[in-house]
Amino acid sequence: MSAISPPPPFPSSTSKTPNKTRNSLSTPSKYKINCELSSSAPQKWTIDCVSPGEPIHIILKPPNSIPMASSSLDSSLKNSKRVCLFYCSEMKDLAHRIASESDAIELRSITWRTFEDGFPNLFISNAQGVRGQHVAFLASFSSPGVIFEQLSVIYALPKLFVSSFTLVLPFFPTGTSERMEDEGDVATAFTLARILSNIPISRGGPTNLVIFDIHALQERFYFGDNILPCFESGIPLLLNRLQQLPDSDNITVAFPDDGAWKRFHKQLQHFPMIVCAKVREGDQRIVRIKEGDPKGRHVVIVDDLVQSGGTLTECQKVLAKHGATRISAYVTHGIFPNKSWERFKHDNEGNPESGMTYFWITDSCPETVRQVKNKAPFEVLSLAAAIATALQV
């Protein structure tokens, strides 16, 4: 801190100042002294000083606290990893939501074209501008037809002298095909994992792969050493939404099978739980309650994904039969091929046998989001904040 200049000198007895003036100065009077703190961001402070016989009072009040808050935000931004985020066409909306979560994330574009024969004709805009930058790509493997063009970009980006490369693939689409049950079955989950494991290494090392609620946890071992899988979950989004419900103190969580219970029960352990199971009766497989009691409760069925929705529908029926007053559902990935989401109706506040109060999905499957938008009982919980956070890891 720089030296504080003393207050203006008091008139001495030899001064020619009239006595009236000297006497008036014998009464303590205040002076304002401006000083400046020596720092990287100088701030002006006010010092209160009184006449001899009184202590010097230093009031540590900056003239405006707003610049300090702004400086703190600027410092936080400087400490954030700046990321150039590319994205496929399907993920445009989610990419913009991710960028809105952090000023450290900058969207970059790719021109998605095709040649006359239908094969990709792609162009990465300002490719030299990403040299030395942290780069990420937001992918959607919603159909086999779009995988090849995105893989072409995914393989190209790490070779542009980037500091690091992150692939965000919210939904790992082949996750349900992870094992062989009969000789000749092809485990396509393993095939896709091998393809992703061969993404070129960037200057920063192996590719970071972000996936949400992969169907089978053992699939993490399918990936090779050239890729670092980071497995995230959408369950925190559900927990936040449940806290906002008017009957949040009357929630019971139900799992459609043991697999869902093993995956999610630790994240939801503070709720009462119900575990369902499929049992065979003749040629039919019927869902029954294995443990737990839904009577008088708002029951939320939780699973990682839904396709046709048959299992969820059967769970809904058995839970309503056993006295659930409301039934809702959550899945991270709402796939719903052939518009199978249409089988889920709204309960119109109090008819759990025929409908659901809420059906929550995330925006991991953008085509489904577009189809169910503003259609009860569906609500979309966005992964944007979770992905923005993962990009800082």
Residue 67 pLDDT > 60, yes or no? no
Q: What are 184-202's pLDDT values in tens digits?
A: 888 788 889 999 999 999 9
The answer to whether residue 16 scores a pLDDT higher than 70 is: no
CATH fold group of domain 236-382: Rossmann fold (3.40.50)
Q: Which residues make Cβ contacts (< 8 Å) with residue 174, sequence separation at least 6?
A: 188, 189, 191, 192
pLDDT of residue 304: 94
- Mean pLDDT is lowest, of 46-50, 106-110, 153-157, 260-264, for 46-50
Helix (H) or strand (E) holding 212: strand 207-212
Round to whole Å and give the CA distance between 112 and 217.
33
Evaluate whether 81-232 and 236-382 have a shared fold.
yes
Domain ranges of the chain: 1-79, 81-232, 236-382
pLDDT tier for residue 367 given thresholds of 50, 70 and 90: very high
The pTM (predicted TM-score) of the whole model is 0.78
- Residues linked to residue 104 through DSSP beta bridges, in sequence order: none
Reported as type and span, the H/E element at residue 120 is strand 120-124
Tens digit of each residue's pLDDT (9 = 90 or more) over 73-96:
455 556 789 999 999 999 999 999
Calculate mean pLDDT across residues 269-296.
89
Predicted local distance difference test score (pLDDT) of residue 34: 55
Class of domain 81-232: alpha beta
State both tokens at 221. Answer: 């071992």
